[in-house]
Each structure stands twice: as C-alpha cells, then as structure tokens.
C-alpha cells in the first residue's frame, strides 16, 4: 500500500486521487488503487471494531 500514514504518503494519495478524477490513470493504476483502498478500509474497520470492544468492556463494568 505505502500511500497512507505519512506526510509523503498523503501527498501521494492526493496525487493519485487527482489523476483518477482527471482520467490520467491507466486501468491498471486504477485497479491497484482500488485494491489498496479496500485493504486500507478493512484495516480502518477492524480498528473501529476493536475500539467498540474496549468501549463495551468499560460500559459493562
């Protein structure tokens, strides 16, 4: 993945998004970007599930 989690990565992600929106990406680049987003979103979702588990543990005390 490599484009999330750092300032340089944020700039890269922004550039990829702009290329996508302006039609400058190849189909292969778009496919790779979508795979990376899917992986990233899955990690984000798992973090939210774990956070919910912790909140629920405190709520049931």
- Please write the tens of the pLDDT for every residue from 14-57: 999 999 999 999 999 999 999 988 998 999 999 999 999 999 99
Q: Is residue 52 part of a domain?
A: yes
Per-residue model confidence (pLDDT) at position 12: 87
What is the value of pTM for the model shown? 0.63
Q: Is residue 1 part of a domain?
A: no
Q: Quick one: which H or E segment has residue 35?
A: helix 27-59
Q: Which residue has the higher pLDDT, 61 or 1?
A: 61
Confidence of residue 7 (pLDDT cuts 50, 70, 90): low
Contact 58, 20 (CB under 8 A): no
Count: domains in the chain:
1
Q: Is residue 24 part of a domain?
A: yes
The parent domain of residue 41 ranges over 7-59
Q: Is residue 2 part of a domain?
A: no
Q: Which residue has the higher pLDDT, 3 or 11?
A: 11
């Amino acid at each position: 993945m490599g484009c999330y989690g750092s300032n340089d990565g944020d700039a890269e992600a922004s550039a990829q998004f702009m290329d996508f929106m302006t039609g400058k990406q190849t189909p292969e680049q778009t496919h790779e970007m979508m795979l990376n987003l899917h992986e990233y979103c899955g990690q984000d979702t798992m973090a939210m599930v774990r956070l919910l588990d912790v909140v629920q543990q405190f709520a049931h005390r």
